[in-house]
Structure 1
Amino acid sequence: MSPVLHADLPRFVAFGEALTDLICTGLDSWISRCGGAPWNVARALSTLGELSAFGGAVSCDVFGQALWQESMDASLDPRFIQQVERSPLLAVVHETHPPRYFFVGDDSADLHFHPSGLPQGWRQFVRWAHFGGISLSREPLAGRLVELAESLKAQGVTISYDPNYRQGMDSRYDDTLERMSRLADVIKVSDEDLCGLFRSPTAHLGLGQLSAWNPQARLLYTRGAEGATLYKGSREWSAGALAVEVVDTVGAGDAAMAGFIYACLHEDGEEAQLRFAMAAGAAACLQAGARAPRLTEVRELAGQVQLLV
């Protein structure tokens, strides 16, 4: 398939890592899947119909080519993906129940992304930029991305942030966590994120700290099967999880993030936006892998989301 070259530059860009999951499926048996939280969000936004791009670097080998091809299949703007002659970033998932994994990526391609290589004039078009994932914990890439987020915020671009806690985001990540939380207009976190990032057995400490750092941000707090709550200032809206037949939860959080962003761009009202986020996350669970849901199925499921009083 030939790359889709858009006449206009996208108004949504997700910045960070695209990687390959190497998943153990049995004794001496492995499969590979394209992934990476920011890449998942960009692909999901594009599948929902938003002109989107992923801003990041991938390798030129078989793993990088697979990421490139899936990006093109999802109609992501190819001008934002930089291919470099470096090794691929890999997430080696050696156990799946519960997930146990480690990353392989010393001096890998993702670390060599440079915003200076993005297409001319892109800043005039972008209205929403998303950041998160392990990219913000991997130097020197992390420093470049935080500076990019701050400069985009200064020009009036809406910033969303999903830290997507992973092993290795310890006290060294604290400064980045605070900087990104203070500048973001939208923050998405889960129970696991809050407990891991704030090194606390409960999520309450993390929620309080995020609110203190940025009381004006919209805070989307997801709790898996227990539903989600959207906070905005002193107001809050909660919704129960949809009763769907779950096949795979991989990528559900990224789909929910994409659904929420899409709704903020196209739907009025926090209740509608929360419903859309819940529906997108549920739709991603209906098939195996980090699936990007379609707009028609998300709209159908959104009508089934029950708001809680």
Structure 2
Amino acid sequence: MGFPLFVAAGEALTDMIVQDAAQQHWLGQVGGSTWNVARAMAKLDVSTAFAGAISQDVFGNALWRASEAARLDLRFLQRHARSPLLAIVHRTDPPAYFFVGDDSADLHFDAAQLPQGWRAQCKWVHFGGISLARQPLAGKLIALAEQLKQDGVRISYDPNYRVLMDERYDATLRRMTELADVIKVSEEDLEGLFRTKDIAAAFDTLRSWNPAATYLYTKGGAGASLHIGDASWSLPAPQIEVVDTVGAGDASIAALAWSMMHREYEEPSQHLRFCVAAGAAACLEQGASPPSLAAIEALL
């Protein structure tokens, strides 16, 4: 059996979303930004793995089953007798949340335990999310990214800003930006990561750390722009009836990677067109629902 062409490394977690604060009714949903990217790529029929660690309890079981259903390569999914990583969403409008995961399973991921020989076949590895803000996991993932860079594997990075990414995250942000070939960032990411309202200056600073990288700058309903060197391309979002925006950013970076892997000689504007359509297609269903190739092409 061969190894996957695409791997997303990071966190898989359970979102505990409040349904009725007074009665303390909660809805548990499988998630995690890097895990969602893996599912989005697998939905596009690319051999894909999620490299990370989950618990051995009911939460971990749900993530295992969902990974299996998504056709991810389960040889890369490690399990530990540790507590699960939970995102507690105690208010939904506006969103308010915190994470529970002291010494949880995700922190015990070990890249040395991944299948022997996988790096020789892998073409692209994605990093991001809160996995890079949680030690000792972050250090392990950065070391893995550095090894993959030396191997010539393409790297994408989506910081996906969350509240625990304070000034302690600054060095990681810079290092991962330096290592990545493709970087996805949103206006909210730039404001949070750089702790500023001057979004344009924050984006300029980010790009100065790796001028050779390709930058996908997503702007929600306003669409997105792609930046390569001194050139840039912009597109508005398709006009759709939005059901849920959860997972749209994850779908867009997966689609950009897919387009750059499978349509290498397309113009950058066509790569952008495909990933904007993917982000929109992800908004047509409830929850983090990765769009199929047919659903994306229907919006093109």
| TM-score normalised according to structure 2 size | 0.97
> How big is each residue's C-alpha offset from its partner over 1:239-279, in whole Å with a ceiling of 9 and x where there is no partner?
00111111111111111111111111112221111011111
Give the Cα separation in 1 of the matches to 2:150 and 2:254. Answer: 23
| TM-score normalised according to structure 1 size | 0.95
Aligned residue number for residue 46 of structure 1: 42
- Asked if 1:153 is matched to 2:149, the reply is yes
> How do 1:1-309 and structure 2 match up within 5 A?
7-26=1-20, 27-267=23-263, 268-301=266-299, 303=300
Give the Cα separation in 2 of the matches to 1:206 and 1:228. Answer: 17
Give the Cα separation in 1 of the matches to 2:141 and 2:86. Answer: 20
State the one-letter code of the partner of 1:220. L
- Report deviation, 1:196: 0.3
Give the Cα separation in 1 of the matches to 2:24 and 2:141. Answer: 37
Equivalenced residues, count: 296
- Asked whether the 8 Å contact 1:52–1:77 carries over to 2, the reply is yes
- Report deviation, 1:202: 2.9
Q: SS of the counterpart of 1:254?
A: helix
State the one-letter code of the partner of 1:79. R
State the one-letter code of the partner of 2:154. T
State the one-letter code of the partner of 2:40. A
State the one-letter code of the partner of 1:240. P
Give the Cα separation in 2 of the matches to 1:68 and 1:82. Answer: 10
State the one-letter code of the partner of 1:133. G
- Report deviation, 1:300: 1.6
> How big is each residue's C-alpha offset from its partner over 1:68-99, in whole Å with a ceiling of 9 and x where there is no partner?
00000000000000011000000000111111
RMSD between aligned alpha carbons?
0.7
**Percent of aligned pairs sharing the same letter:** 57
Q: SS of the counterpart of 1:20?
A: strand
Give the Cα separation in 2 of the matches to 1:182 and 1:206. Answer: 15
Give the Cα separation in 2 of the matches to 1:35 and 1:279. Answer: 22
- Asked whether the 8 Å contact 1:22–1:92 carries over to 2, the reply is yes
Give the Cα separation in 2 of the matches to 1:183 and 1:206. Answer: 18
Give the Cα separation in 2 of the matches to 1:260 and 1:280. Answer: 9
Structure 2: gaps of 5 or more residues: none
Q: Structure 1 residue runs of 4+, over 6 Å off?
A: none
- Asked whether the 8 Å contact 1:198–1:205 carries over to 2, the reply is no
Q: SS of the counterpart of 1:17?
A: coil
Q: SS of the counterpart of 1:285?
A: helix
State the one-letter code of the partner of 1:59. S
> How big is each residue's C-alpha offset from its partner over 1:125-152, in whole Å with a ceiling of 9 and x where there is no partner?
1110100000001000000000100110
State the one-letter code of the partner of 2:15. D
Give the Cα separation in 2 of the matches to 1:300 and 1:237. Answer: 22
Q: SS of the counterpart of 2:177?
A: helix
Structure 1: gaps of 5 or more residues: 1-6, 304-309
State the one-letter code of the partner of 1:18. A
